[in-house]
A and B are shown apart, each in its own frame.
Chain A
């Protein structure tokens, strides 16, 4: 239960980190370390080079830029949790973070690290999927932006090349009157979700739903947007019957069972949590 031997690098700039990635062929990037350090301690990863990003100050920031929230990849989860601008403009992210691990892990854990680790039940991954986040990565070939729908390639595998690193995440902001909800079921507070549901809703002056985003996490290899449920809500007035019908689409999602819960139970949780989350988000719309 001790980390294996590796060469340690702690670059002070993104350019240095990119150069290191280009000159090594079995390197791991160390962000907050709340997933990679356990994997090193358990020898589940055996990198020849460890590139520690913690000295790169330019990667930690939260900026409201017009109708986009720009968050540096190395911004600590605890900083996001306490950020007034996140709470005011993107409360879904605040609500999701309150379920992420514990204060001791949020003090170190970063947004970029969680998105790249891409645990199927990770709350920040589910929030990024719901918010249509755009991930900025850079590498030898220059900078590019990845829409979050294309970010998970497969189980715990983000669409990042081995010589690239995530530098920032942009969250397009919804209108100030939008409603949000993030609900999850876990055995203990701070555990990864057995199932989590994130919802964003917008209504018009007449009370009809004009925009909806629903994500279910914990069922399969990566969280999924439930397009059928989103479509069922558009143009409708919020009601318990509408939410129940829309939420039933979550029961039809592919699911994988494991030691924590069988597939059918996860699908049931998805439908129940989606119905509750829709009602909660609708109540917050104004």
Chain B
């Protein structure tokens, strides 16, 4: 079988990209290999670990379980788009730093993107709700304590700043 390609246009973090892609290319590989956005990590490549979580039209998705051609015409947000500028972190990133919410950092981009959607929909979550929201993101370093603390603190910071 010959390799089939299609031309697609995807907006990532506000910037429009046009590419000719193999139809079997995943969204995760489009981001990393074709657009150079290596902040999105690939762990298991079968939808279990959550490391590749990005937002597609505002909704969290596993980028390893979507084809790049399915993102044609869509708006994708990745961890690279979180910080407002080079000098400032997003409140979630600040909270992860303050609470030691990461060790090796491999799972962090996926967790941050999961929490962006979660805190938008639930700006004042309980600890139990945070733990359920994090159930689709595996972290093998932290034991989750720091991550949960960071998520709750970020929720508070974002409410105070009227960002949530």
7 more A-B contacts (CB under 8 A) besides A1-B46, A6-B23? A7-B4, A54-B70, A104-B60, A105-B62, A105-B136, A108-B65, A189-B131
Interface residues in A, total, Cβ within 8 A: 31
| A2 B132 Cβ-Cβ under 8 A | no
Contacts of A266 in B (CB 8 A): none
Q: Is the CB of B59 within 8 A of A78?
A: yes
Contact B1 A38 (CB under 8 A): no
Q: Are A5 and B29 in contact (CB under 8 A)?
A: no
Judge whether A104 and B114 touch: CB under 8 Å. yes
Q: Is the CB of A104 within 8 A of B50?
A: yes
Q: Classify the secondary structure of B's interface with A.
A: mixed
A42–B64 alpha-carbon span in the complex (Å): 12
Q: Please tell me if A107 contacts chain B, counting CB pairs below 8 Å.
A: yes
> What A residues does B96 contact at CB under 8 A?
none
Known: A34-B47, A41-B46. A7 touches B1 (CB 8 A): yes
Q: Which residues of A contact B (CB under 8 A)?
A: 1-8, 10, 33-34, 37-38, 40-42, 48, 50, 52, 54, 78, 101-105, 107-108, 188-190
Query: Which residue of chain B lies nearest to A10 when distances are taken between CB atoms in the complex?
Result: B69
Measured between beta carbons, the chain B residues less than 8 angstroms from A107 are: 59-61
- Most chain A beta carbons < 10 A, residue from B46, B50, B65, B114: B65
Size bin of chain B's contact surface: 20 to 34
Which residue of chain B has the shortest Cβ distance to A1 in the bound complex?
B45
Residue of chain B at shortest CB distance from A55: B70
Q: Interface residues of A: mostly helix, strand, loop or mixed?
A: loop
Q: Nearest Cβ distance between residue A26 and chain B, in whole angstroms? A: 11
A38 to B69, CA, bound (A): 17
Task: Choose from B29, B67, B118 the contact partner of A103 (Cβ within 8 Å).
Answer: B118
| B133 cross-chain contacts in A, Cβ below 8 A | 103
Residues of A within 8 A of B77 (CB): none
Q: Which residues of the partner chain B approach A4 to less than 8 Å between Cβ atoms?
A: 24
Known: A2-B24, A103-B60, A103-B114. A33 touches B66 (CB 8 A): yes
